[in-house]
Structure 1
Amino acid sequence: MTELRRRMKEDLQLAGYSPRTVASYIDTVRVLANYYHRSPDLITEDEIRQFFLYMINERKSSASSITVYLCGIKFFYETTLKRTWQIFDLIKPLRTKRLPAVLSPEEVRIILKGITHPVYRIALTTIYACGLRVSEGVRLTVSDIDSRRQLLRVHNGKGGKDRYVHLADRPLELLRDYCRQHGIVTGFLFPHKDGHISCENLQVAFRKAVRSSSVDKPATVHTLRHSYATHLLESGEDIRVIKDLLGHTSITTTDIYTHVTGKIATRLHVNLNGMMDNLQP
């Protein structure tokens, strides 16, 4: 590890960034250095400008990708190298708000049924049943299950936050059967070798099940989380409750699900018709 890389890593750790963000930000500086084939402390402000123009115009990078690069590179130059450059205030990626793909309950059942690996199947089932992020799901431990209160503890979620989510009767029953069959008493709920199953392997298994199913949607494991939230909203659950279950900081993040649920649109149409029936020409 180079001295600059070590210093940046330590600066990020002192600033309270998660290990995943630390690795991501360090990688952005590595890509920048490789682009110019020299140490990042020798790169000029104008060259950084040209690098981001390359990302926007040639690589056609998404707004979220550019934001990650901006945050990582800006941290390196402003915090580690103590250089304040105006270019970092100029770069403002154009954000687009795309609606997520959502599976129907029947489509969820079809895909989960196509997962042949028993550990992957129960892991994906739990992710859907509790609206988890894939990184939260793979790290679950046996002690995270509170059977008496029917709660699942999500440890160190996005932003380093813990939360509890409700565990319905059927998922709890499936988890109990799974633990008995596999002799899992302590440790990771979904073990693999010396740790837990990986996010990557779970994604591969899910994509394979989608491809072999009759479901024609661009679904990933994260789609299960979107579907969970949408199904709760369609069932009449309060959006503020859904916000807390998902671990969102702001209600505006959860509001996206009001735009993707067909049942709410149908109910709105009926309500509007009822309101407008007596309008006079």
Structure 2
Amino acid sequence: MAKDTNYWYQRTIEQLLLTGKSKRTAETYAREVRILGKCVDKPLDKLNEEELRQFILYRLNDCKLAGSSMRILYCGLKALYQDVMGNKWPLLKVLKSSKESRLPMAIDRSEVEAILAGALTP
């Protein structure tokens, strides 16, 4: 009998806790397992590598997840499919997300003058 999404969600949380992740981190990563379960029409243990790849592309392109959210997705799916289910799919080895680099917020001339005026007054 196929196991439901809640079973795999709990197993993923347990696996992440066993590897030293905090409860909050484990729940955050495992939330992607729940999202996967809602997006596919078959049990999670019956998905193949291509179906998982298509889900990842859906989350990236259609849901437009940011790099940090993609890292959470990758960690959750790797925990389930690699660590819990024991799959050795090549896809799981290549999942990586680029680091986001944000530019510092620029301030305008009046803000600089206000900062300097405040620094110069006793």
Q: TM-score range by the shorter chain?
A: 0.7 to 0.9
- Point out the structure with the larger strand share: 1
Question: 1:54 deviation in Å?
Answer: 1.4
Query: For residue 99 of structure 1, what is the amino acid of its counterpart?
Result: L
Which protein, 1 or 2, shows the higher relative CO under an 8 Å CA cutoff with sep ≥ 6?
A: 2
Would the alpha carbon gap of residues 80 and 102 (structure 1) be closer, same or farther in structure 2, given more than 3 Å must change? farther
Deviations 1:136-177 (A, max 9, x none): xxxxxxxxxxxxxxxxxxxxxxxxxxxxxxxxxxxxxxxxxx
User: Identity rate of aligned residues, in percent?
Assistant: 33
Q: How many residues align?
A: 104
Q: TM-score, normalised by structure 1?
A: 0.34
Q: C-alpha separation between the residues in 2 aligned to 1:29 and 1:46?
A: 16
CA RMSD of aligned residues (A): 2.3
Higher gyration radius (CA): 1
1:31 corresponds to which residue?
A: 35
Q: C-alpha separation between the residues in 2 aligned to 1:2 and 1:60?
A: 25
2:99 corresponds to which residue?
A: 95
1:18 corresponds to which residue?
A: 22
- Alignment check: 8 A CA contact 2:67 2:97 kept: yes
Question: Where do 5+ consecutive residues of structure 2 fail to align?
Answer: 112-122
Would the alpha carbon gap of residues 26 and 96 (structure 1) be closer, same or farther in structure 2, given more than 3 Å must change? closer
Question: 1:62 deviation in Å?
Answer: 0.8
Question: 1:95 deviation in Å?
Answer: 3.0
Q: C-alpha separation between the residues in 2 aligned to 1:100 and 1:3?
A: 43
Off by >3 Å, runs of 4+ in structure 1: 100-103
Would the alpha carbon gap of residues 100 and 49 (structure 1) be closer, same or farther in structure 2, given more than 3 Å must change? same
Is 1:78 matched with 2:82?
yes
Q: C-alpha separation between the residues in 1 aligned to 2:69 and 2:56?
A: 11
Question: 1:71 deviation in Å?
Answer: 0.7
Q: C-alpha separation between the residues in 2 aligned to 1:91 and 1:6?
A: 23
Question: Where do 5+ consecutive residues of structure 1 fail to align?
Answer: 108-281
